[in-house]
C-alpha cells in the first residue's frame, strides 16, 4: 500500500508554511508568503496518499467519501508532443495537490491544504490513442464496450479521451482539485462530462463495506488491497509493455428506478440480489464474507439464491472473469419529476475484454436486478502506470 498517514506533527510543521503563492490581487505563483491555517477534517484521520509509485493511486486506495470523474476530449491539432506537455503539467499539479500543497498557479491555495486522502487518477479513452496516432500502442484488450440491449446510454454521460478521477474525503478539496486541473488541461482539451458521487469512506480492511442507495452492502466480493490476488486481477503485467502496472476502468452510470424498487417487499429485494439487506450475507446462510452456496435449496426444493439473482449471474466462473469494483453513489435529487439516483459503477481490471466483458454479457442477458437498474452512461479508460517523483504520467507511451 502507498498510504502514508500524516499525523499532527506533519500538520504542525506545515501549519505556518510559506507556500509561495500571492494573494490579494497578486498573480498566483509569484507572490509573497502566506500564513495558512490548516483545517482538520473532524471525523476522518488526516492522511496523505502518495501520488507517486508503480501504480496510480485512487484504485487500490480504500474508497474515499467523494469522487469526481471529469472526461475531456482532445482539441483538434493536439499532437503527442502537446499531450506530453499537458501530462507534465497535470502530473506536477496532481503531485502537489495530493501532498495537500497548492499547485503552482493555484488561485485558491487555501483550498488545497486539508489532508483528506486526495487522489488524482488519469486515464486515456480510445479516442486518445486514435487522435494521437497511437492506436498501435493501445493496450491489448482495451476497447469500447459493445452495445447491450439493457443500455439506454446518453451522450452526456458517455465516452471521453482523457479522464481525471479525483477522490478525497473532503468535498471542498475535491472540488478545488477538479477545478484547478480542469484549468490545467483547458488549452489542450474541451470538457465532455463531469460526474460526481459519494460513498461511506473506508480507511482500511477493517472498515465495513459501504452500502449503495438501494440499501445493499455493495463491494463484498472484491480482491483485497495489497494482496497478490489484487495485483493479478487489477494491474497489467510485464507482457503489457509500457502499460505494465496500469489498469483499465469501465465506468457505467446506472440509474436506479427507486420508485418501483421501493414497492418490492424486503424479501423480494433480497432475492433480486441473492444476499440479505441487513448484513449482506448470502441467502444460503453464514456471514457477509461466507461463500454463497448456489446449489442450496429450501424445504420445497427452491434455490435459496435464485438462479437469475444478481450474484448468481455475476459470480466468477473461475476463468479469470473478475475485477475490482470501486463504485460511488450518485444523487441528483429529482429530475423531470423522478428520483435521480444511481450508481457510478466503476470496475478496474488488467484486461477488460478478458475479465469484464464476460460478466457484463451475462448480466445483460439475465439479471433480476435489471428490472430496477438502467445503464445511462458508459466509458472506458486505460489508466497508465504511475510514475516516480522525477517522472511523469504517460511517459512510457508518449
Ligand atoms: C446499479 C447497479 C448495480 C448494483 C446496485 C449492484 C449491486 C451489487 C450487490 C449488492 C452485490 C453483492 C455484494 C457484493 O459482492 O458487492 C453485487 C455483487 C456483484 N456485482 Fe453488482 N451491482 C450493480 C451493477 C453491476 C454491474 C454492471 C456489474 C458488472 C458488469 C456487477 C458485477 C458484480 C459482481 C462481479 C459482483 C460479485 C458477485 C459475486 O461473486 O458474488 N454489478 N452487486
Could you read off the pLDDT of 4-23 as tens digits, one per residue? 433 333 333 233 233 333 33
Number of domains in the chain: 1
Q: Is 41 in the pocket of ligand 1 (CB under 6 A)?
A: no
CA quadruple 11, 3, 347, 101: dihedral sign: positive
Nearest atom of ligand 1 to the alpha carbon of 256? 1
**396 in a domain, yes or no?**
no
**389 in a domain, yes or no?**
no
Residue nearest to atom 38 of ligand 1 (CA): 315
Residue nearest to atom 10 of ligand 1 (CA): 218
Cβ(355)–Cβ(318) below 8 Å: no
Domain range enclosing 31: 3-383
Cβ(397)–Cβ(134) below 8 Å: yes
Tell me the CA–centroid distance for residue 262 and ligand 1, in Å.
19
What is the SS3 assignment for 74? Answer: strand
| Residue whose grid cell is 491489448 | 140
Q: For residue 41, what pLDDT band results from cuts at 50, 70 and 90?
A: very low
CA quadruple 50, 51, 56, 58: dihedral sign: positive
Task: Give 268-308 pLDDT, tens digit per residue.
Answer: 999 999 999 999 999 999 999 999 999 999 999 999 999 99
Residue nearest to atom 24 of ligand 1 (CA): 345
**176 in a domain, yes or no?**
yes
**337 in a domain, yes or no?**
yes
pLDDT, position 93: 98
Task: Give 333-350 pLDDT, tens digit per residue.
Answer: 999 999 999 999 999 999
DSSP 118-150: -EEEEEE-HHHHHHTT-GGGSPTT--PPPP-TT
Q: Is 275 in the pocket of ligand 1 (CB under 6 A)?
A: yes
Q: Is 322 in the pocket of ligand 1 (CB under 6 A)?
A: no
Nearest atom of ligand 1 to the alpha carbon of 356? 30
Cβ(117)–Cβ(61) below 8 Å: yes
Sequence-separated (6 or more) residues with CB below 8 Å from residue 17: 36
**397 in a domain, yes or no?**
no
317: which strand partners? none
Amino acid at each position: 500500500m502507498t498510504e502514508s498517514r500524516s499525523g499532527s506533527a506533519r500538520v504542525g510543521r506545515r501549519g505556518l508554511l510559506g507556500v509561495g503563492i500571492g494573494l490579494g490581487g497578486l498573480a498566483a505563483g509569484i507572490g509573497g508568503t502566506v500564513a495558512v491555517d490548516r483545517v482538520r477534517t473532524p471525523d476522518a484521520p488526516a492522511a496523505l496518499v502518495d501520488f507517486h509509485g508503480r501504480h496510480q493511486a485512487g484504485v487500490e486506495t480504500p474508497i474515499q467519501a467523494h469522487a469526481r470523474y471529469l472526461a475531456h476530449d482532445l482539441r483538434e491539432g493536439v499532437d503527442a508532443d502537446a499531450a506530453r506537455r499537458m501530462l507534465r503539467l497535470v502530473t506536477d499539479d496532481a503531485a502537489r495537490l495530493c501532498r495537500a500543497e497548492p499547485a503552482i498557479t493555484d488561485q485558491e491555495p487555501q483550498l488545497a491544504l486539508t489532508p483528506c486522502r486526495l487522489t488524482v487518477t488519469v486515464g486515456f479513452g480510445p479516442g486518445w490513442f486514435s487522435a494521437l496516432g497511437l492506436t498501435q500502442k493501445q493496450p491489448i484488450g482495451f476497447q469500447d464496450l459493445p452495445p447491450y440491449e439493457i443500455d439506454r446510454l446518453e451522450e452526456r454521460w458517455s465516452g471521453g479521451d482523457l479522464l481525471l478521477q479525483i477522490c478525497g474525503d473532503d468535498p471542498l478539496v475535491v472540488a478545488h482539485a477538479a477545478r484547478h486541473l480542469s484549468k490545467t488541461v483547458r488549452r489542450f482539451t474541451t470538457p465532455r462530462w463531469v460526474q460526481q458521487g459519494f460513498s461511506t469512506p473506508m480507511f482500511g480492511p477493517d472498515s465495513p463495506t459501504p452500502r449503495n442507495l438501494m440499501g445493499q452492502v455493495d463491494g463484498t466480493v472484491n480482491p483485497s488491497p495489497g494482496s497478490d490476488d489484487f495485483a493479478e486481477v487489477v494491474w497489467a503485467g510485464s507482457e503489457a509493455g509500457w502499460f505494465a502496472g496500469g489498469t483499465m476502468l469501465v465506468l457505467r452510470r446506472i440509474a436506479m428506478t427507486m420508485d418501483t424498487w421501493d414497492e418490492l417487499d424486503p424479501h423480494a429485494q433480497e432475492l433480486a440480489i441473492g444476499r440479505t439487506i441487513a448484513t449482506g450475507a448470502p441467502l444460503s446462510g453464514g456471514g457477509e464474507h461466507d461463500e454463497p452456496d448456489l446449489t442450496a435449496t429450501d424445504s420445497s426444493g427452491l434455490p435459496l439464491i435464485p438462479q437469475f439473482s444478481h450474484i448468481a449471474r455475476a459470480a466468477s466462473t473461475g476463468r479469470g472473469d473478475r475485477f475490482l469494483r470501486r463504485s460511488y453513489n450518485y444523487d441528483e435529487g429529482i429530475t423531470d419529476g423522478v428520483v435521480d439516483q444511481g450508481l457510478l459503477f466503476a470496475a478496474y481490471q488488467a484486461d477488460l475484454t478478458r475479465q469484464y466483458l464476460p460478466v457484463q454479457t451475462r448480466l445483460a442477458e439475465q439479471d433480476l436486478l435489471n428490472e430496477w437498474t438502467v445503464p445511462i452512461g458508459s466509458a472506458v479508460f486505460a489508466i497508465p502506470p504511475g510514475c516516480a517523483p522525477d517522472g511523469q504520467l504517460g511517459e512510457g507511451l508518449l
